[in-house]
Amino acid sequence: MYIAIEGIDTAGKSTQITALNNHFPNAVITKEPGGTKIGKEIRELVLSAKTQSKRAEFLLFLADRAEHVKEVIQPNLHNLIISDRSAVSGVAYALIQGDIETKDLVTLNDFATKKIYPQKVFLLRLTKKELEYRLSQKELDGIELRGSEYLLQIQENIIKAAQLLNIELIEIDATKSRDEITTQILNNIN
């Protein structure tokens, strides 16, 4: 089974992936973008903000996604694969840019992934109040500096992206305790 843990910054994705790895020590743990050697280079290139075009940036992410599917996902489809983010996030961020037609987002992702998507996506959903509290407790990165409204819009776009890609989405209240969240995920994996 191939699953992805999705959510905006500070939602607890890394915490849950660590917990799931403890339950499934033989699971393949990966991330997108940057889950391959080439993917790490693409991620660095994108984060360097050298591209002048949002479309170019999107195409770089698609290249990462294609490489990730070929190197990590396809060879391990017989195993449990747990991914920190997936094509769902890529589409969600592209939706917020508004520069690419929705049908093109789907077509290009289908091409890059060979239509291999997670069977289930778990969205760790934050409230505005909790998000703002968590952001206040840390040094903010470039995405987080865009503010809570931007991040909450991404969260809503994650839901839309899962629908566009026809992926089962399970929303989980990320304000619950770590153990409650882990249990809810485990109950939906088995």
How far apart CA 116 and CA 125 sit, in angstroms, is: 24
How much is the pLDDT for 144?
A: 67
Question: Per the structure, how many domains does the chain have?
Answer: 1
Q: pLDDT per residue over 84-115, tens digit each?
A: 999 999 999 899 988 899 999 999 999 999 99
State yes or no: pLDDT of 49 exceeds 70: no
Between residues 29 and 133, the one the model is more confident about: 29
Cβ contacts of residue 35 below 8 Å, gap of 6+?
Answer: 64, 68, 71, 72, 83
Give the torsion sign (CA, 172, 178, 180, 181): positive
User: What is the domain extent for residue 36?
Assistant: 2-189
How much is the pLDDT for 118?
A: 98
How much is the pLDDT for 142?
A: 67
How much is the pLDDT for 99?
A: 86
How much is the pLDDT for 190?
A: 67
Q: How many helices (H) and strands (E) does the chain have?
A: 8, 5
How far apart CA 130 and CA 59 sit, in angstroms, is: 33
Please provide the average confidence, as pLDDT, over all residues in the chain. Answer: 92
Calculate what percentage of the chain has a pLDDT beyond 90. 73
Of the candidates 122, 123, 118, the residue with the CA atom closest to the CA atom of residue 154: 123
State yes or no: pLDDT of 53 exceeds 80: yes
Query: Domain holding 88: CATH number?
Result: 3.40.50.300
